[in-house]
Chains A and B, each alone.
Chain A
Amino acid sequence: MEINKELVREMGALAHVKLSEAEIAQLEKEFKEIFEYFSSIKEIGEKGESLLYVTGTKGKLRADEINAKTNDEIDAIVENFAQKDGRLLIAPKLLD
């Protein structure tokens, strides 16, 4: 796949990151350089296991119980909301 401005723009849209034209031009150049260097990874043998667990053990599941927060903790979380109505988070409209 060729790295070009269109691809950078597409990735920006997929990742929800608005980019300026200057940023797109700069990233195109840098991505070409980065992928050229990183393609050396393909020299490593084709077959083999994948590293999915760093520690070699799978995580254990917690008991299926509600870990109740105190009112103070909830207030502290709500306090960080950009816009709120009491304890409700106000978000932009999803549907018209």
Chain B
Amino acid sequence: MYYERVSKFLDKIEKEDTKIRAFIEIYYDDALAKAKELDKKVNEGKKLGKLAGKAIAIKNNIAIKGKLLSCASKMLENYIAPYNAHVIEKINAEDGIILGSTNLDEFACGSDTTNSAFFQTRNPLNIEYVPGGTSGGSAAAVAANFIDIALGSDTGGSIRCPASFCGVVGIKPTYGLVSRYGLSDTTMSLDQIGPITQSVNDAKLMLSVIAGKDERDQTTYRTQKMKLKYSGKPSIAIVKEFLDGADEQIIKNFHLLIEKLNIGGYNIKEVSIPTIKYAIPIYYLTVFAEFSSAMQKYDGLRYGKIDYILENINESVNELRGDKFGLEVKRRILLGTYITTQEYQKEWYGKTLSARAVLKKEIEFVLSKYDVLLGPTMSTLPWKIGEKSNPLEMYLADILTVPANLAGIPAGSVPFGKVGKFKPGIQILGNRFGEGKVFALMEEIEMLEVE
């Protein structure tokens, strides 16, 4: 039974992924072997895990033992993961079936998956448009019904942006809830792994599997801290700044939702978090500093089987990194190098750390009075492939998603309404380990009918 189900998914991927290009690799043999193993367990009357039979895809910056771990970069185009990430161990233990690895922006640098060094992933809702990023392949695979659940990673919106653009569900969990062991790090103070799914229920299921303490990631907590169940109507704060500068269609769709929630008897108030207007500089300066440091390990010696020709190590490394890294990766490495030099460290990185503390406090203050914050996930609809190329313009697209990462709080995106072919995401932010209330409102919005 699982064998047939997985075969159907694989057939669909083989036929249709030539158009969408969500996958970097498809694991035909492993997926079918795992399905067979599950069928055998069923026949023998053995108990199956929580994810039994679920078809799963993994963003290709998460390690699966023996498989290519490319981060969509030429630097790692031959790199084979020597071990499983914590989340992969958990999925395997709960009988999930991994069908393949998905495309992303190189080293998770971007907002629309155009920075993959390999190929462009397209939006299944309209293939002329970007799927969002950086977990664009994961969201596209879910939206195209190639799989049930994908894993993405989210540093400043990389789960929620593509979920919103592709009309599916995604959640960035509380910082410290899911172990990053085996995730290629980009910004350790912001990165989290989370699910992208067809339904809120599947997101809950996957999060309950991957969450929890792991000795190999010292930021993780025990799962008991997270309460997934919540019955009641969370009190809602609409952050005024979340609507500043958003597209008219996005605002209209959001107001339609508010009307529905008002009818549903929710307590909704408008609030202001003034420092959000600085969220983009705070976020990107944090990223540049941590990212340039995280990328130092890529010297071509330990990762990626790259042959050296030059005799001199400095020249070799400079040449190799210049050749193998894409422009956005180089841009961030250089900017990070600049703001952390002794000369400019205080002026830029030091300032960023204190500004982040101010923003985090403001968000926490509002969340001490309300259960959740509500707004659109993205301030725009997806753009056409190739339409955006200016880096600053691309950075600014992340304005609504970065605050959750800076504050270390959970944020989910759930589609609501319809604008043309697209189903824009609504974003719900909660208190640390407040996933239960976030999911409760996501489920409510998921069930709302739109005429």
List A residues at the B interface (Cβ < 8 Å). Answer: 1, 7-8, 11-20, 23, 26-27, 30-31, 33-34, 37-38, 40-45, 47-52, 54-55, 59-60, 62, 73, 76-77, 79-83, 89, 91-94
B residues less than 8 Å from A76 (CB atoms): 65-66, 80, 82-83
**B235 touches A (CB below 8 Å):** no
Jot down 9 A-B pairs with beta carbons below 8 A, ordered by A: A17-B330, A18-B323, A27-B330, A31-B338, A40-B278, A54-B189, A55-B408, A80-B303, A93-B311
A-chain residues with CB within 8 Å of residue B317 when the two chains form the complex: 16
A41 and B313 in contact, given A60-B218, A83-B307 (Cβ under 8 angstroms): no
Taken together as a complex, chains A and B put the C-alpha atoms of A77 and B425 apart, in Å, by 41
Stretch at the interface among B35-43, B118-126, B138-146, B348-356: B348-356
Q: Is B306 at the interface (CB under 8 A from chain A)? A: yes
Chain B CB within 10 A, most for which of A26, A38, A52, A62: A38
Question: Which residue of A is nearest B295, CB measured?
Answer: A15
Q: Is B80 touching A11 in the complex (CB atoms < 8 A)?
A: no
Instruction: State in angstroms the CA–CA spacing of A50 and B355 once bound together.
Output: 8
Decide if B301 touches A81 in the complex (CB within 8 Å): yes
Q: B335 to A1, Cβ gap below 8 A?
A: no
What A residues does B189 contact at CB under 8 A? Answer: 54
CA distance A15 to B358 in the complex (A): 30
B28 at the interface (CB under 8 A from A): no
Tell which of A19, A37, A59, A73 touches B82, judged by Cβ atoms closer than 8 Å. Answer: A73
Residues on the A chain within 8 Å of B219, using CB: 54-55, 59
Contact A38 B281 (CB under 8 A): yes
User: What sequence of 0s and 1s flags, for each residue 240-271 of chain B, a beta carbon within 8 Å of any chain A beta carbon?
Assistant: 00000000000000000000000000000000
B residues contacting A by CB (< 8 A) are: 65-66, 78-80, 82-83, 175-176, 189-190, 215, 218-219, 221, 275, 277-278, 280-282, 284-285, 292, 299-308, 310-314, 316-319, 321-323, 325, 327, 330-331, 333-338, 341, 343-344, 347-348, 350-358, 360, 390-392, 395, 408, 432
9 nearest interchain CB pairs? A18-B322, A76-B82, A59-B218, A50-B353, A51-B357, A38-B281, A92-B313, A41-B281, A15-B337
- In the complex with contacts A30-B391, A79-B82, A94-B313, A45-B358 CB distance below 8 A: yes
Let me know if A82 and B308 touch, CB within 8 A: yes
Residue in A31, A49, A73 whose beta carbon sits within 8 Å of that of B335 in the complex: A31
Q: Which residues of A contact B318 (CB under 8 A)?
A: 12-13, 16-18
Indicate which residue in B78, B330, B392 contacts A34 across the interface (CB closer than 8 Å).
B392
A51 CB to closest chain B CB, in angstroms? 4
Q: Tell me the nearest residue of chain B to A31, going by C-beta.
A: B335
With A59-B219, A82-B305 in contact, is A16–B334 under 8 Å at CB?
no
CB proximity of B115 to chain A, nearest CB, Å: 15
Give the distance in Å from the alpha carbon of A77 to the alpha carbon of B333 in the complex.
Answer: 26
| Nearest residue, chain A, Cβ from B286 | A51
Judge whether B311 and A23 touch: CB under 8 Å. Answer: no
With A17-B325, A34-B391 as contacts: A49 and B307 at CB distance below 8 Å:
no
Given A16-B317, A41-B355, A82-B300; 4 other pairs, CB 8 A cutoff: A50-B357, A51-B356, A80-B82, A83-B307
- Best-buried of B79, B319, B356 by chain A (most CB within 10 Å): B356
- B contact residues around A33 at 8 Å (CB): 390, 392
Q: Which residues of A contact B311 (CB under 8 A)?
A: 92-93
